[in-house]
């Protein structure tokens, strides 16, 4: 058995965002576990051990750190933060875990789905590839789209300007859950 020498207890989470490498390139990411001292993220590109990155995470904001470990499909970073910022991260993590465990999330189809006036859109995959798609219906928390090639469940995608992930495949395409509840104006601007 390997002793866990982490100073902070990590919790499993599902947090979406994007990160910037030292060369200023940006990529989508998904945090799979996190503590006030570090986090592991899935990413479409490999980073080098020792590389500094800046992540922008939904509900957490900007987090800086250094890559300390690489694994297939992602990497782990040690967070660079003041004690006050670490406490804020710990509080946000507590909220995120309780929200999921207690079923407090507002993303459980609590929002009315509408057929958009402008259904044609683009689906952007983690590798930057763009697929033409048609939005079947959309709500503040997700969308169902018709697309010829169906990305696997869990894939982080961007629909229009909204980041989310594939939660289901259906006969015409896929269902997407947005990473955060959208503003009605954003939906209106994107899909009419």
Q: What is the pLDDT of residues 165-187, one digit of tens each?
A: 888 888 999 999 888 777 787 78
- DSSP-derived secondary structure letter, 158: E
Distance CA 160, CA 162 (A): 6
Closest CA to 37 of 79, 88, 76: 79
Distance CA 27, CA 55 (A): 9
CATH number of 11-101: 2.40.10.220
C-alpha triplet 190, 110, 148: angle, nearest 5°: 50
Could you tell me how many residues make up the chain? Answer: 192
- pLDDT (0 to 100) of residue 74: 92
- pLDDT (0 to 100) of residue 130: 93
CB count, 10 Å around CB of 41?
A: 26
Token pair, residue 91, equals 């509080």
The label of the residue with tokens 């207890």 reads: 9
Q: What is the dihedral of CA 105, 157, 17, 23, to 10 degrees?
A: 180
pLDDT digits (tens, 9 = 90+) for 7-37: 677 888 888 888 999 999 888 888 999 999 9
- pLDDT (0 to 100) of residue 107: 43
The answer to whether the beta carbons of residues 66 and 78 sit under 8 Å apart is yes
- DSSP-derived secondary structure letter, 72: T
Distance CA 159, CA 164 (A): 8
Q: What is the mean pLDDT of the chain?
A: 85
Between strands 156-159 and 162-169, the pairing is antiparallel
- Per-residue pLDDT band at 136 (split at 50, 70, 90): very high
Predicted TM-score (pTM) of this structure: 0.55
φ/ψ of 44, rounded to 5, equals -80, -5
User: Which uninterrupted H or E stretch holds 8?
Assistant: none
Domain ranges of the chain: 11-101, 120-191
């Amino acid at each position: 058995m390997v002793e866990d020498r982490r100073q902070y207890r990590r919790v499993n989470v599902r947090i979406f965002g994007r990160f910037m490498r030292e060369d200023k390139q940006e990529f989508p990411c998904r945090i799979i576990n996190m503590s006030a001292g570090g986090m592991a993220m899935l990413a479409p590109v490999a980073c080098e051990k020792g590389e500094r990155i800046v992540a922008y995470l939904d509900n957490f904001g900007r987090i800086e750190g250094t890559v300390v470990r690489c694994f297939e499909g992602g990497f782990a970073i040690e967070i660079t933060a003041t004690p006050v910022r670490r406490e804020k991260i710990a509080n946000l993590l507590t909220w995120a875990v309780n929200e999921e465990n207690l079923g407090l999330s507002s993303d459980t189809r609590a929002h009315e789905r509408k057929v958009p006036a402008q259904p044609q859109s683009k689906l952007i995959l983690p590798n930057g590839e763009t697929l033409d798609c048609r939005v079947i219906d959309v709500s503040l928390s997700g969308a169902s789209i018709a697309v010829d090639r169906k990305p696997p469940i869990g894939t982080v995608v961007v629909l229009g300007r909204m980041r989310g992930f594939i939660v289901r495949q259906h006969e015409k395409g896929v269902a997407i859950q947005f990473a955060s509840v959208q503003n009605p104006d954003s939906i209106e601007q994107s899909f009419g």
